[in-house]
Structure 1
Amino acid sequence: MDTLKRGNMSFTWLNGGVTHLDGGAMFGVVPKALWSKKYPVDEYNRIELRTDPIFFQKDGKNFIIDSGIGNGRLSEKQLRNYGVLEESHVDKSLSKLGLTTEDIDYCLMTHMHFDHVLGLTKKADDGELLPAFPNATIITSEVEWNEIRNPNIRSRNTYWKENWIAIEQQVKTFKDFIEVLDGVMMIHTGGHSDGHSVVKISDGKEVYVHLADIMATHAHQNPLWVMAYDDYPMTSIFAKDKWLKEILENEYWCLFYHDALYRAVKWSKENEIIDSLKRER
């Protein structure tokens, strides 16, 4: 497992599985000749996208950011269509840290698309879906929670009833922002989805920002490079531009859930990488 230790914080990436999605869709209108210089692509025009929850501890509480793609949650057709070559083993990752899924106190859900939310539930022997983190408070924006339960003609392809029905009693929502604990904030941005949020964590020495799917990988740093999957691309552009100005000016860390190359990157004010954690393969 990859771990970033800086300041007073430690972040560990759990094994949440992997997908391979169309590179053109992931970079929207950006020509392949440009984006393929920054991110590897296979012969099927697919790019590797991890779905690895980010684990950290703060004030004696155990957090994960997003939940992976679960295990046994996708059909054979879905596994093939989404290029899933490995499903989640979050429980095994936690065991290496001396923890179990019951020890997680908070699940911070940037949004609830299938590749972020499937890991919140698990199948019992009789096929019933049960909470994967039974003692956790699951936090997401009010807009996101409303939409997963009432998807529209477009979003119903990624917001599935079975992904929320078993965990609805654990969910806590917020409107504009929420400070979960001192130094741990979620801020609603919209863009990728209407209810999309980012996570900002401060330990007094360093600041860490997870822009989630408005900047899915380090290669998406250009504010104009947004996904075809984004429901509100102009909102994504404005939000990413705003956040990146703050991130670069203050040399914050960026944490990634999907990036198959980098787990975390710190850019200088001049937009050069000055520190990073690469993913071990």
Structure 2
Amino acid sequence: MTIVQAIVLAIVEGITEFLPISSTGHMIITSSFLGIEKETFTKLFEVVIQLGAILSVVVLYYKKFFDFSRWQFYAKLIVAVIPALIFGALFSKKIDALLESSLTVAVSMLVGGIVLLFVDNIFNKPKYDSDRSITYPKAFAIGLWQVLAMIPGVSRSAASIIGGMQQGLTRKLAAEFSFYLAVPTMLAATGKKLLDFYKEKGTINGEEIKLLAIGNVVAFVVALIAIKFFITYLQKHGFKLFGWYRIIAGAALLALILSGYLK
């Protein structure tokens, strides 16, 4: 992996991580086009640069994350991340196998796009606009929705936001809780990937550390911008634009797969 390839992947990660368009799917496709999808380090890089993205959440919502008087906030995040930890541990090999499938990404993009076209109309009567109204059962339910994102192309952001709206949260609150939930979820995923990489390769060399540092910085800056854009846009316009984007991207991806340009 070159520095340019690392920057490209980091930009894609920063843009797509918190938008409901599947960062994993976009990373798989981008690395395939760059010709580095088979490299062991690429798979590590794609996960570890999520740390830069989640740091943007902590910075933007620092008052929330560093208000230690509200321990319930942390407890609810722990409850919400439990389903992902359980399913990730039980089905890690199957999940890794799915990550190799561009067809899975294409189909998930298409199906998810169709869902986003109608989600605003389906969940159009929100009841809760404060995170204090998110009970532990609601947090757990949102965590169950997030598990769907283990299928590449589904989008962790989309699954958890829709889960929040299904629980009666406003679009804004559902999106913000999805951002909060990304922090423990991605920390766990990064820790596991680093451990797997260490077991397989044993160490990370100086060049790889440099690439990871660059990737995290770029992902952090881009994610800051993406989050601010998404919250503002979502409140005014809803999900339809993202739904159409997913449908077009999924159809284009299917065409590339069927024509043999992408495996």
- Please report the TM-score for the alignment, with normalisation by the length of structure 2: 0.27
- Please report the TM-score for the alignment, with normalisation by the length of structure 1: 0.26
More strand by share: 1
Question: Which structure carries more relative contact order (alpha carbon 8 Å, separation 6+)?
Answer: 2
